Amino acid sequence: MEKQNLIMKNEDSSNVRHSYFHLILSILIFSILDFCATTFFQDILHTPLFFDTIFMIAALFAFGPVAALFEYVIFISLVCVKLIFLYGKTDHVYLYTLSALTIILVTHLFVRRKEKLHQGVNLTFLYILTASILAGLACSVVSGFIGYFTYNLNQKDWTFDQLIYAFNGEQFDFLASSILGRIPVIILDRIITTFAGFGVYKLYVRIMSHRLSRRMN
């Protein structure tokens, strides 16, 4: 009996270690994929959108807000390494981790109860759309403040430059322009990346379920 209990405890311990390893590996892979997506869309295609949080959102759906934040920290660290290697400076992009945290918290308020995302296509669409828009608005405010305070640190925010200066030219002060100039781009980016992240999450769950069923068989 004692031998059987010892075997069961060893199996439980092995499952826990496997679970932690699987979580860490998934977060690392998601971070690398976010880095690749951002490099492709921003550096190669030069799109005004970021596409830098698709897999962060997938991590949020799959593992929760803490894992999503770790995913973004790894991602932004990779971005900083790239910027230092190419330009010798980071342009303070790591400060935008605060924007990512804002996105995570606002989105989590809507998706923390996953059963609400399985009550039909229409309700799921409305939940994700609402979360995307509100997260976009909150992120615009936070990023606007960051852009305002780093403006004198020679940071070039090329994505929003034209919109910011357009608002600034209409007698808005620079802080208001820095926020308002971001809203259209960030909300569109949030809608696309949140739905894409939800799609990645659903695909991830299906792959993991398939692997689990094969192991059990």
Return the pLDDT at 147. Answer: 83
Say how far apart CA 157 and CA 168 lie, in whole Å. Answer: 15
Segments in the chain below pLDDT 70: 1-18, 115-116, 152-171, 217
Torsions phi, psi for 149 (to 5 deg)? -80, -20
Return the pLDDT at 81. Answer: 95
Say how far apart CA 217 and CA 202 lie, in whole Å. Answer: 23
Residues 31/25, Cβ–Cβ less than 8 Å: no
Report the SS3 class of residue 44. helix
Say how far apart CA 112 and CA 68 lie, in whole Å. Answer: 13
Report the SS3 class of residue 45. coil
Domain of residue 96, residue span: 2-216
How many whole angstroms from its chain centre is CA 17?
A: 26
Return the pLDDT at 18. Answer: 54
Other CB atoms within a 10 A radius of the CB of residue 76 amount to: 22
* Chain position carrying tokens 């799609």: 199
Which helix (H) or strand (E) segment holds residue 177: the answer is helix 174-180
Q: What is the CATH number of the domain that holds 29?
A: 1.10.1760.20
Torsions phi, psi for 83 (to 5 deg)? -65, -40
Split into its structural domains, the chain has a count of 1
Return the pLDDT at 72. Answer: 97
